[in-house]
Amino acid sequence: MPETTFSLRQLGPQDGRAYAAVLAASPDTGTIGSAVRFEIDPFQALMSLHRDTVGVVAETPGYDGLVGSGLLRFGHCQWEGEVRASALLNTLVVHPAYRRRGLASQLARWREEYARQRIGEGGIIWAIIQRNNTGSELTARKWARQFLANRLTFAPLRMRSGPPPQARHFDVRPAQPDDLDSVAEQLNRFYREYNFYSPETTRSLAAWLDETPFESPFRHYRIITNKAGSILAGMGLAENYRVRTTLITHLPAGLRILNQVFHVVPASGEMREIALSRLWYAPGQLDAARHLLETIRWEWRERGTSLMLYADVRGPLMGLFGVRERISKGQASIAVQAPVLCTEGRLCYYA
């Protein structure tokens, strides 16, 4: 086979349609196969989901389109007790017709070099890799200095078919601007010892809520209070289904059987996801957080098919997973390139 040459460049606004096409041709090959369908312009969708995103794309002579791509999400996060600049590498794909020709390594190297130039030697480069995605894991191990195997769990939380039991001592409501000071303080306290968590301020929370590609908000924050008005727990919601829809292309036999019982994945395979993030609860208030989650699963049932929640497998948020979610959950590992190794006791945050 003659050697194939690839040219790499930064993703631009003009690449939206071609980017969507290469993603559609290259579904995730982990335990759960999935593909993306964009509901708005793909480039605008990427910027709406994460404002400081940079992409790399690959082209080759004789092919009218993109044959590969990868993304980087920039920000700051806690790492071993310090806040450092960070770059999250995600969504690296190679068109099936051009695999095993070194393109994945070229894309990975482009992202690593771009990230390191921007965040410096003290910054954190990391990636989330679904369990059994062998190709992505092999690529990540070429640049990662530490591999945290099966550290995260994730599950689509099916919407409720009936209201949760009443709890007269709780009130669930949208967070108001005057609540954001307390929410930011509580969030930062809850995740104080976590790696990869980005500390929040009143301003950062307000900016996150205000950003939208639509005429209406697509991000929201809900809190639960006691009758005295004290905030006991909170969680953010992003209506990602308005931007992109996840199509489940493959379920292993075991999960297919479980899905016939629990109906987590709709028969169409189309997941209209609402992403959960910035979850916290006050000490001793896990029941309040559960009631908040169950209320959202009921009140948002007409908008999405599921809520998507990520948690460290050893962390307190595992208490929010019910029996159904514990059975149907997936797992992911974290590849890291950092100047200081992750200590064994640190929990990890991802949203």
Q: What is the pLDDT of residues 287-312, one digit of tens each?
A: 999 999 999 999 999 999 999 999 99
Domain boundaries, the chain: 7-152, 156-242+272-330
Cβ–Cβ < 8 Å for 158, 323? no
Per cent of the chain over pLDDT 70 is 90
Residue 83 region by backbone torsions, left for phi larger than 0, else alpha for psi between -120 and 50, else beta: beta
DSSP H helical ranges for the chain: 16-24, 42-49, 103-119, 134-141, 180-190, 202-210, 253-262, 286-299, 323-328
Distances (CA, A) of 149 to 49, 78, 139, 332: 26, 20, 15, 7
Q: The domain 7-152 belongs to what CATH superfamily?
A: Gcn5-related N-acetyltransferase (GNAT) (3.40.630.30)
Give yes or no for residue 156 having a pLDDT over 90.
no
| DSSP E strands, 265-338 | 270-271, 273-281, 306-312, 330-337
Give yes or no for residue 37 having a pLDDT over 80.
yes
Q: What phi and psi values does residue 333 have, to the nearest 5 degrees? A: -105, 165
pLDDT on residue 36: 85
pLDDT on residue 271: 84
Distances (CA, A) of 229 to 178, 179, 244, 294: 13, 11, 36, 20
- Mean pLDDT value of segment 176-182: 98
- Other Cβ atoms less than 10 A from the Cβ of 216: the count is 7
- Other Cβ atoms less than 10 A from the Cβ of 132: the count is 14
pLDDT on residue 344: 87
Q: Among 86-95, 150-159, 226-235, which is the least confidently predicted range?
A: 150-159
* CA dihedral of 205, 333, 195, 50, whole degrees rounded to 10: -20
- Chain centroid to Cα 262, Å, comes to 23
Distances (CA, A) of 266 to 240, 249, 270: 17, 12, 6
- Mean pLDDT value of segment 82-111: 95
- Chain centroid to Cα 259, Å, comes to 22
Q: Which of 266, 264, 218, 221 is nearest to 242 (CA)?
A: 218
pLDDT per residue over 325-348, tens digit each? 555 577 899 999 999 999 988 999
Is the alpha carbon torsion for 171, 175, 179, 185 positive or negative? positive
pTM of the model: 0.90
CATH of region 156-242+272-330: 3.40.630.30
- Chain centroid to Cα 39, Å, comes to 18
pLDDT on residue 268: 73
- Mean pLDDT value of segment 80-84: 97
pLDDT, the chain, mean: 91
Please give the residue that has the higher pLDDT: either 221 or 344: 221
Distance CA 174, CA 172 (A): 7
Give yes or no for residue 235 having a pLDDT over 60.
yes
- In this chain, the answer to whether the domains covering 7-152 and 156-242+272-330 adopt an identical fold is yes
**Cα end-to-end span (Å), the chain:** 42
pLDDT on residue 1: 47
pLDDT on residue 168: 87
Give yes or no for residue 124 having a pLDDT over 80.
yes
